[in-house]
Amino acid sequence: MEGKKATYISNLVGIVPIQSGPKNDGFPWPNALTPLYRHYTALHRSVLECAMAGCSSIWVITEKRHIPLLKAVVGSYVEDPILAQLPVEFKENFKMKVPIWYASLPARDIGRRDCYGRTILAGAEYAIKLAERLSNKAVPDKFFVSFPHRVYSAWMLQNLRKKVKDANKNFYFTIEGKTIKDGIDVGFTFFKEDFERFKKDFKARDKGAWISYDGMRGLHRKPKEERNTATRLTLDEVFRSATLDDATLVECDKSNNISTWEGYAKYISTSKWYRMPKKVKYFKFNKMKNLETRTIDCGDDYDEATKDDPKET
């Protein structure tokens, strides 16, 4: 008798890509640390979104020089926000800490193929390689991507966790009907098989900076406009082979893109600011005290202006 096929993915890995380059509005820290409210940054929201989706671990991919700062602000663990809402008498038995890993692109990719899409693929590659060293059963089957500068309520995923972790279907947030395949940086999932296809397609489009001409000895440098074309690939070009057939599409009708100053000003002017939930805690690793709790108590996810929505209170 054949065993019953699993309906839900048990090992979902979250990826938070942080775009590198001169896009920080003149500040020495990444845009992921843009404040959304007191003690609550865009990176906090992305980590919370991954934890809300049911991820067993979260990978933050950024520049190497930013890792100590991000780790000091966000920490090394986050509580599962759904289990954190349980009553106190149950919480001690069911609470779960989700580890947060920080990594940077390989040195060989910097300046050659360090586009935003490559940052996502690097996060999946790191998660797979680390798991393979432990056990084949620990290898992740599915990945969830959260973009820090695309701001919307992480609690949208509270009732969508089963759809995100579906073993047979991918999950895509949409904005006006457009997804990551159209170049819209909004949350989505992909399977390990999809990752292998994305990676193969990406390598095929990476032409490098050198070429060997017929009849000429050795390598010759390409013209400047033809060098390292992979650094200029957009999200829709990297994930062009993504399939929406039989996928779960959920419209994200309330979102703000804070990657630009104009978008951030628009978010601030709405007066509907996202806040850290009271019961969710972050942890940072301390070599002397093992785990040191970093409590953030600054209100609910929404302010008074959104109390009419029962899902957000």
Dihedral pair phi/psi, residue 164, rounded to 5° = -65, -40
In this prediction, residue 87 carries a pLDDT of 65
- pLDDT tens-digit profile of 165-205? 888 889 999 988 888 888 888 999 999 898 899 888 888 77
Residues ≥6 apart with Cβ < 8 Å to 115: 230, 231, 232, 233, 234, 238
List of domains in the chain: 12-196+234-312 (3.90.550.10)
Residue 145, pLDDT > 90, answer yes
- pLDDT tens-digit profile of 71-126? 888 888 888 887 777 665 555 566 678 889 999 888 777 777 778 888 898 899 88
Question: What is the residue whose two structure tokens read 């934890």?
Answer: 51
Pairing of strands 97-103, 57-61: parallel
**Which one-letter amino acid corresponds to residue 80?**
D
As a whole number, mean pLDDT of residues 124-149 equals 88
Q: What is the DSSP string of the chain?
A: -PPPPPSB-S-EEEEEE---SS-STT-SS-GGG-EEETTEEHHHHHHHHHHHHT-SEEEEE--GGGHHHHHHHH-SEEE-TTGGGS-HHHHHHH--EEEEEEE---TTTTTTS--HHHHHHHHHHHHHHHHHHH-GGGS-SEEEE--TTEE--GGGGTTTHHHHTBSS--EEEEBTTB-GGGT----EEEEHHHHHHHHHHHHHH---SEE--TT--S-EEPPGGGS-GGGG--HHHHTTT---TT-EEEE--S-EE-SSHHHHHHHHHT-------TT--EEEEETTTEEEEE------SS-GGGTT-GGG-
Residue 296, pLDDT > 50, answer no
Q: How many CA atoms lie within 13 A of 105 on its CB side?
A: 23
Residue 307, pLDDT > 70, answer no
In this prediction, residue 15 carries a pLDDT of 94
Q: Rounded CA gap, 160 and 138, in Å?
A: 24
- pLDDT tens-digit profile of 238-292? 888 888 888 889 888 788 888 888 888 888 887 677 777 766 766 665 444 444 4
**Which one-letter amino acid corresponds to residue 134?**
L
Q: Rounded CA gap, 55 and 286, in Å?
A: 23
Dihedral pair phi/psi, residue 263, rounded to 5° = -65, -40
Which residues are 161's β-sheet partners? none
Q: Rounded CA gap, 287 and 273, in Å?
A: 35
